[in-house]
Amino acid sequence: MSTNKKEAFTQEEQELAELAKALAHPARIAILKELARRNVCICGEIVEVLPLAQSTVSQHLKELQQAGLIKGSVDGVKSCYCINYEAFKRFEGILEKFFRITENSQGCC
Amino acid sequence: MSTNKKEAFTQEEQELAELAKALAHPARIAILKELARRNVCICGEIVEVLPLAQSTVSQHLKELQQAGLIKGSVDGVKSCYCINYEAFKRFEGILEKFFRITENSQGCC
DNA sequence: CCCTTTCATCGTTTTTTTACGATAAATTTT
DNA sequence: AAAATTTATCGTAAAAAAACGATGAAAGGG
């Protein structure tokens, strides 16, 4: 990104992009909010609460888990998910750093 | 999102999702960083610096502009973009509020 | 005036995302 | 043991995103 083109994007840029992508759908935001609201983990209750099919919700949960923002565990026949607090802290840190960069610039348009 | 299903997602959820989507690509993050780095607005210099075709960069700029995160103006034959500081402030606020919600939950997995 | 530069837009292709129903595996319940 | 519940995964369809080259419009320079 500095002089020669060709070298793709930095690790940081990619990590931030991936985390942002996890938030880039209202359903996933709603899921995260719901997980946070009930401090006891939930599972198919999320399906009850969202206007989406069970398989679709399951998919969103998987994406959130792959992004690291939530943790999951199996409890009998049920599945239990919850906020990954550490991941959110890290996410916050990365964002804060990014926003700080944008603060130094005094737009001209 | 509360009881009856059907009612789609809230305004807030959608706004956050849209802003997050704007960050959900490393090229757009790189563009924002570049705009912030040069406090003088730039334009096709961004193309020089990214490993993407001019038309692709133009597209990313348009998306960032539509998300409100950057402002653009025409200067002769050149185009000039810069960080929209107020929008970033607002974005930060929305995120902060969202992260606060997640902080109250003590995961159980 | 032509020629060049700069950039947005169009048309297109490829890839990714979103969504759903169907199915299957694992557990409970009965 | 059979039936029902819960959930992940598969297959697929439709929509959106990403990327590129080509084209065209506007402005500047010669």
The pLDDT value given to residue B6? 54
Parent domain of A66: 11-97
Does A109 reside within a domain? no
Strand (E) or helix (H) holding B64: helix B54-66
Q: What burial letters (b/e) apply to A78-88, b meaning 16+ CB within 10 Å?
A: ebbbbbbbebb
Supply φ then ψ for residue A4, to 5 degrees.
-95, 10
Q: Is A32 contained in some domain?
A: yes
For residue A65, pLDDT over 80 is answered with yes
Mean pLDDT for A76-101 is 97
Q: CB atoms < 10 A from the CB of B2, how many?
A: 7
Percentage of chain A modeled with pLDDT above 70? 94
Q: What pLDDT score was predicted for residue B4?
A: 56
Amino acid A42: pLDDT: 83
Mean pLDDT of A19-38: 97
pLDDT given at position B37 = 93
pLDDT value for A40 = 72
Query: In this structure, is residue A88 part of a structural domain?
Result: yes
The pLDDT of residue B39 is 72
C-beta within 7 A of nucleic chain C, residues 20-49 of B = 43-44, 47
Question: What local confidence, expressed as pLDDT, does residue B104 receive?
Answer: 81
Higher pLDDT, B39 or B14: B14
pLDDT higher than threshold 50 for residue A25: yes
pLDDT for res B1? 44
Asked whether residue A61, judged by its CB, lies under 7 Å from any atom of the DNA or RNA strand D, the reply is yes
Dihedral sign for Cα atoms in the order B60, B65, B70, B76: positive
Q: How many domains does chain B have?
A: 1
Confidence band for B108, pLDDT divided at 50, 70 and 90: confident
Task: Specify if B2 maps to a domain.
Answer: no
In tens, the pLDDT along B24-39 reads: 999 999 999 999 999 7
The predicted structure's pLDDT at residue A2: 41
DSSP chain A: --SSS-S---HHHHHHHHHHHHTSSHHHHHHHHHHHHSSS-BSTHHHHHSSS-HHHHHHHHHHHHHTTSEEEEEETTEEEEEE-HHHHHHHHHHHHHHHHHHHT-----
Answer with the residue of higher pLDDT: B43 or B13. Answer: B13
- Say whether the CB atom of A24 is under 7 angstroms from strand C: yes
Higher pLDDT, A48 or B43: A48
Residue B108 falls inside a structural domain: no
State yes or no: pLDDT of A23 exceeds 80: yes
Say if A80 falls within a structural domain.
Answer: yes
Is residue B21 domain-resident?
yes
Residue A83 within any structural domain of the chain:
yes
Surface-to-core class of residue B40, CB atoms within 10 Å of its CB (0-12 exposed, 13-18 middle, 19+ buried): exposed
Higher-confidence residue: B5 or B11? B11
Q: Is the CB of A65 under 7 A from strand D?
A: no
Q: Which domain CATH number covers A26?
A: 1.10.10.10
Percentage, residues of chain A above pLDDT 90? 81
Q: In A 79-98, which Cβ lie closer than 7 Å to strand C?
A: none
Are the C-beta atoms of residues B9 and B1 closer than 8 Å to each other? yes
